[in-house]
Amino acid sequence: MNVVSLTPTDLALAAGLVLALAALSLPMGLAIGKQLVIAGARTVVQLLLVGLVLNVLFDNVNLGWITLIAMAMLLVAGWEVMARQRYRLIGWWGFGVGSVSMFVSTFTITILVLLVVIDTEPWYAPRYAIPLLGMMLGNTMTGIALALDRLTQSTRQQRGLIENRLMLGHTWKQVIEDIRNDSIRSGMIPTINAMAVAGIVSLPGMMTGQILAGTPPLEAVKYQILIMFMLAGGTGFGTVAAVSVAVRRLFDERERLRLERIREIS
């Protein structure tokens, strides 16, 4: 298959778009210019590094190294979930809730797909395992971060209402149910939107990449359908698990609201 190679000049032109946006943000007072530049630099460095690592992995398939890389990806994703919340659970909970929820949902679904659906030899072939897990973690990370942020902010804003209902005899499950459900929906909205417009408004990333690399369009479509369903399942189960654990953490054994268990991140 013929793939058009990109030169450093081509990538520099694309980077100019980010720099132009950062420059435009300065007179507008958006305060995102620095974040854009740093994020762009991280993108270049991180993707170059992962490209080098994947080259080595593809030539030397080893379950131990693949597991190590997968755990490193999980830990970084867990940190990003915690960092993207304005209010987060204090102590280990702030990092652990997102990380454990992502581990349970994304690793389970990815391994299931590798073993049953794709059925490569070996099943942990890095050419499939790392990209699939990366997409799963990235999407699930966004969903969980949005859901937990919505949960903690809404709980703080409605503290008076929650405590009044508790004094009236409602259980902690009853008083937090609406906030919990809204939080889960918030975490799922990006995935639902992506599924709803796939193929009509946008061509998803994996499908586009395969087509550009020369894969027949229908084969690329089948893989993209698989990915979209994986992302929906991983994000949904992960978000439900994270929000459910976080909700319980907001109340003690006597069903009292304990907002001191979350703190604002400046």
pLDDT tens digits, 236-251: 999 999 999 999 999 9
Tell me whether residue 134 is exposed, middle or buried, using C-beta atoms within 10 angstroms of its C-beta: 0 to 12, 13 to 18, 19 or more.
middle
DSSP 123: T
206 & 91 share domain: yes
Q: Does 196 share its domain with 96?
A: yes
pLDDT exceeds 70 at position 3: no
Q: Is the pLDDT of residue 58 over 80?
A: yes
Per-residue CA distances from 156 to 29, 75, 250 (Å): 29, 28, 11
CB distance 86 to 265 below 8 Å = yes
Domain boundary among 9, 37, 60: 60
Kindly provide the b/e burial profile for residues 141-176, where b requires at least 16 CB atoms within 10 angstroms of the residue's own CB.
bbbbbbbbbbbbbbbeebeeebeebbeeeeebeebb
Question: What percent of the chain shows pLDDT beyond 90?
Answer: 62
Q: Are 81 and 189 in the same domain?
A: yes
pTM as predicted = 0.84
Instruction: Output the pLDDT for position 266.
Output: 60
Q: Using CA atoms, how far apart are residues 98 and 177, in angstroms rounded to an integer?
A: 20
- Look at the block and give the residue holding tokens 């209010």: 87
Residues 74 and 41 in one domain: no
Confidence (pLDDT) at 265: 75
Q: Are residues 54 and 182 in the same domain?
A: no
Split into its structural domains, the chain has a count of 2
Q: Does residue 6 surpass a pLDDT of 90?
A: no
Residue 255 has pLDDT above 80, yes or no: yes
pLDDT at 127: 87
Q: Which of 60, 75, 99 is the last residue of a domain?
A: 60
Joined together, the tokens standing for residue 209 give 């990449």
Are 194 and 200 spatial neighbours (Cβ–Cβ below 8 Å)? no
The beta strands (E) that lie in the chain are given as 87-89, 262-264
pLDDT of 1 > 60? The answer is no
Cα–Cα distance for residue pair 40/46, rounded to 1 Å: 10
Mean of per-residue pLDDT scores for the chain: 90
pLDDT-derived band at 200, boundaries 50, 70, 90: confident
SS (H, E, C) 133-166: HHHHHHHHHHHHHHHHHHHHHHHHHCHHHHHHHH
Question: Which contiguous run of DSSP H or E holds residue 72?
Answer: helix 63-83
182 shares a domain with 74: yes
pLDDT tens-digit map of 108-150: 999 999 999 988 889 999 989 998 999 999 999 999 999 999 9
Residue 167: closest CA among 86, 80, 236, 255: 255
Burial (Cβ within 10 Å: 0-12, 13-18, ≥19) of residue 96: middle
80 and 38 within one domain = no
Structural domain of 4: 1-60
Per-residue pLDDT tens digits for 165-186? 999 999 999 999 999 999 999 9
